[in-house]
A and B are shown apart, each in its own frame.
Chain A
Amino acid sequence: MDGTSATEQTREGRSTGDAVVVTRGLTKRYRGGQLAVDDLNLTVPAGSVFGFLGPNGSGKTTTIRMLMGLIEPTSGTAHVLGRPMPRSARAVLPHVGALIEGPALYGFLSGRDNLLRYDAADPTADPRTRTSRVAAALDRVGLTTASGKKARAYSLGMKQRLGLAAALLRPRRLLVLDEPTNGLDPQGMREIRALVRELATDGTTVFLSSHLLDEIEQVCTHVAVMARGRLITQGPVAELAAGARGRLLVTTPDASDAARVLKEQGLADVVAEGDRVSAEPPARDLAEVNAALVAAGVRVRGFGVERASLEDVFVALTGEGFDVAG
């Protein structure tokens, strides 16, 4: 790792304040030359449920690996719970539960024995309470009855649940979940959302990477968006959604007339699709627009501004392109 300058240090000191994760200029170039994370400055406030978004290959997992001390940053620093990583891994990681790139299990061991092993690997875990903590974690993810089964016989969702249980073996200050609902059934997803909310009320900070944007929207207080290894934006969810303006949506059987009237009224970006006409909402009072529609004999079924979804914001920020950046 290259040295950080003194100014960098003090800036960190000030901004760390109540943050659980702080990265400054964090950069990772893999051995093959791939620049996976580029100059990342991330701040995860304590107590937040932090959604970490980005298209495939944008560097989310790479960032998480650096935060967990699994890989060394090429340059820059990462602090977790106020301590530098990977140097302070032994002090920090007992307070952190993590699910990284899906679960990994010993197929020839039962679900319960898998958890016992992961708990035994933690030098700070009390062996006297091990079995009861393992039982509690299994119960929390709904695996109690399947806990005696060999992990190789688990379904995808059961493996995911067991991975989550491993992250919940002890009370944690930070929970890092890389696509936790992958492979879960709808009940499982709901359960995870409820779990995340419950943990958050208990004061655990949850760092959540996911592609399911409505899921993020439902549980997260903050979000950061990555694209091509760079941070595009971060902040409270509400601010992000407010930043993107919603669209005026008119539902009507006379779509073409409606579109003409809206254009005459000076609205931009008018799009007619079947019986729905949408446009950028104007600055003036919407009631006047509606009155103009009615005056022109347009039969209006529905009229209103549709709030921008996180998905709209996400696509606006990261682009429509489907192909993964190379």
Chain B
Amino acid sequence: MSRAETVSASVQPRPLWTLGLFRDELRTTFRRWRTLALLGVLAAVPVLVGTAVRIETGDGSSGGGGGGGPAFVSQITNNGLFLVFTALAATLPFFLPMAVGVVAGDAVAGEAGSGTLRYLLVAPAGRTRLLLTKYATVMVFCLAATLVVAVSALAVGALLFPLGDLTTISGTRITFGEGLVRALLIALVVAASLLGVAALGLFVSTLTDSGIAAMATTVGLLITVQILDQIPQLHVLHPYLFSHHWLSFADLMREPVHWEDLTKNLGLQVLYAAVFGSAAWARFTTRDVTA
């Protein structure tokens, strides 16, 4: 069996090859028209919110006073930085997770549907590595999507409103510089809040050969979870819904910061990532690839 020996001898996987596939996966994902369209929509949200607030206050009214709206709206006219918090609070319940659901849902199912999955597997990309690469790419997309919202909001905020020192929810004053740091921290927490949806989407993606079906299912699950979270009779379930602690990122604007809900949120995301990540792995490494 000298053949078998030559097979093993001449094939040495390069140590950094995973990064090669990862880089390529990033390039491919961010060159998709769909990805760019999603990011475009996300960038437009702060523009809409900012313009709406500007027009409202331009009429002479004092800026809404809150009501049911996101916590920071009333502050935007005083300080454009609050548009970042408002925009993240406005996109986190739906736009951001929907975008992540679309990208994650399509990750494996889309490749299976177009048949490219079989060629990646005979390349051979390796099923575990491919799945890890896909998840890492979706994570990067979570971060990119959140940053797009934040940066767009910061730009619009700076353009339409004054910038300067700001008041935290607890009433203390912090400098603009520290405000920026908080904004960045909040963006990171928001991005991390999406990891649960990302893992769920990736798992759904391994179940079908249709990218559209996987995307629709993931977004459908997202809406369902949001609705369940609103039904008081189901309060025993609420702490386990991935979206339940999402808006806890506002606690980063307190002085001192309230960590309790924040850590609950991050812990829940890690739990979802572990459970659905394992499920996706179990499914993907054993399934028949026939498409």
Contacts and interface: CB of A to CB of B under 8 A. Distances in A.
Asked if A and B bind, the verdict is yes
Given A104-B116, A109-B28, A72 B124 contact: no
Contacts of B1: 13, 16, 82
Interface in B94-122: 114-116, 118-122
Contacts, number: 119
Contacts of B290: 30, 65, 70-71
Q: Which of A46, A109, A122 has the most CB of B within 10 A?
A: A122
Interface residues of A, number: 45
B11 A106 contact: no
A83 B4 contact: yes
Interface stretch (B14-22, B151-159, B276-284): B14-22
* Chain B, interface SS category: helix
A91 B33 contact: no
B59 interface: no
A289 B8 CA distance: 63
B13 to A, nearest CB: 4
B260 interface: no
B158 to A, nearest CB: 35
B24 A117 contact: yes
A100 B118 CA distance: 8
A71 B7 contact: no
22 contacts: A13-B1, A30-B288, A31-B288, A70-B118, A81-B3, A81-B4, A89-B124, A91-B8, A92-B7, A95-B7, A98-B119, A108-B31, A109-B31, A116-B24, A117-B28, A118-B120, A120-B20, A122-B125, A123-B13, A123-B124, A127-B14, A127-B20
Interface of B: 1, 3-4, 7-8, 11-14, 17-18, 20-21, 23-24, 28, 31-33, 114-116, 118-126, 129-130, 286, 288-290
Given A68-B121, A96-B122, 11 more contacts: A65-B289, A69-B124, A71-B290, A83-B7, A89-B124, A90-B126, A104-B119, A118-B120, A119-B123, A120-B21, A127-B14
